[in-house]
Amino acid sequence: MRKGQKSYAGVPEICNESSGNCEEGKKNPATFAVAPQTEEVTAESAMTREQYILATQQNNLPRAENAQLYPVGIYGWRKRCLYFFVLLLLVTMIVNLAMTIWILKVMNFTVDGMGNLRVTKKGIRLEGISEFLLPLYVKEIHSRKDSPLVLQSDRNVTVNARNHMGQLTGQLTVGAEAVEAQCKRFEVRASEDGRVLFSADEDEITIGAEKLKVTGTEGAVFGHSVETPHIRAEPSQDLRLESPTRSLIMEAPRGVQVSAAAGDFKAACRKELHLQSTEGEIFLNADTIRLGNLPTGSFSSSSPSSSSSRQTVYELCVCPNGKLYLSPAGVGSTCQSSSSICLWS
């Protein structure tokens, strides 16, 4: 029987289902006219029948009576454990997500940075007070335009400079008792023209300011010699050079000049004042030259009137050793080499 053909009520007639004859045979099988078979079974229908028989025989093979059926799936306590672990994983994911959101909220994470830390094109920007517990390596640190830069520490603030090999080349330490700078050369420059105001190295200290002013009550104390081309006091102030326990020496290969253009020049000492010129002379040039507190020598005169009158004029005498003394003036010279002043000097 070909595909698409059926038999109804024991009628051997093969009806074509597509032609509509089968509907009538279903309703009245007794009255359905039997017609002779007009179609021939082709080779194709025979092949189809043989394939159907073979397939039916294969499906009807005898099966083993003791065949066991194994159920496929998870049942019992395994299923409950699986659901428990899935639920635990879900709870863990929810808690983890909540903690992540809380950390992002507390730390104030944004697209630009975290909290007071902002990442910009020029670098990193910190707002407020920042504490660094470990070393900080940066190229440049500067504050905002309207606020100063403050570096604060409980002990000290140390700034180190190192070369490409990591060796220390410079160090600045600000401590509670002192500010220390360790370097080959220390310089302080003016902000306007960049000239050196103060520089110090191992060999010398240079002060490039126009004026060096010492305002201490004790003045400036120098342990060794001082070389300077000019020493002057402030306007309307006195200049005083003093050595409390030792001597004061001023030396110059081409001369020492001391002048007071609008005042007095005084030289006072407790014992002796020496004016010495080895190869030249001592020149005193003034309208009036006064030598006070010179000793007065004795002079005996035969005229009683001269001794009784008040002596107002004296003669300046010089002993052989260079000592000066006064002698009452007379008609002639009253200086006597045998005077007691010259003998006991």
- Asked whether residue 294 is domain-assigned, the answer is no
- Asked whether residue 88 is domain-assigned, the answer is yes
For the whole prediction, is pTM greater than 0.75?
Answer: no
3 state SS of 180? strand
**For residue range 229-272, what is the model confidence (pLDDT) as tens digits?**
777 777 777 777 777 788 888 888 888 887 777 778 777 778 88
- Asked whether residue 76 is domain-assigned, the answer is yes
Residue carrying the six token digits 């020029």: 122
- Same domain for 76 and 123, yes or no, is yes
- Same domain for 133 and 88, yes or no, is yes
- 116, 127 in Cβ contact below 8 A? yes
Q: What's the average model confidence in pLDDT over 21-40? A: 47
- Same domain for 49 and 88, yes or no, is no
% of the chain residues with pLDDT over 90? 10
H or E element: which one contains 305? helix 304-308
Q: How many domains in the chain?
A: 3
Q: Which domain holds residue 44?
A: 5-59
- Asked whether residue 337 is domain-assigned, the answer is yes
- Same domain for 137 and 109, yes or no, is yes
- 173, 156 in Cβ contact below 8 A? yes
CB-side neighbour CA atoms (13 Å) of 34: 9
**Average model confidence (pLDDT) across the chain:** 76
- 250, 256 in Cβ contact below 8 A? yes
- Asked whether residue 216 is domain-assigned, the answer is no
Q: Among 115, 141, 167, identify where a domain stops.
A: 141
Residue 12 pLDDT > 90: no
**For residue range 58-69, what is the model confidence (pLDDT) as tens digits?**
555 555 555 566
- Same domain for 53 and 78, yes or no, is no
- Asked whether residue 275 is domain-assigned, the answer is no
- Same domain for 14 and 42, yes or no, is yes
- Same domain for 45 and 90, yes or no, is no
Q: What are the φ/ψ torsions at residue 67 (nearest 5 degrees)?
A: -65, 135
- Same domain for 55 and 77, yes or no, is no
Q: Among 90, 124, 141, identify where a domain stops.
A: 141
Q: What are the φ/ψ torsions at residue 162 (nearest 5 degrees)?
A: -130, 155
Q: For residues 282 and 274, give the distance between their C-alpha atoms in angstroms, rounded to a whole number.
A: 11
- Asked whether residue 119 is domain-assigned, the answer is yes
**For residue range 127-179, what is the model confidence (pLDDT) as tens digits?**
777 777 887 788 888 887 888 888 888 888 888 888 888 888 999 999 888 89
- Asked whether residue 132 is domain-assigned, the answer is yes
Q: Among 80, 112, 141, identify where a domain stops.
A: 141
pLDDT at site 36 = 43
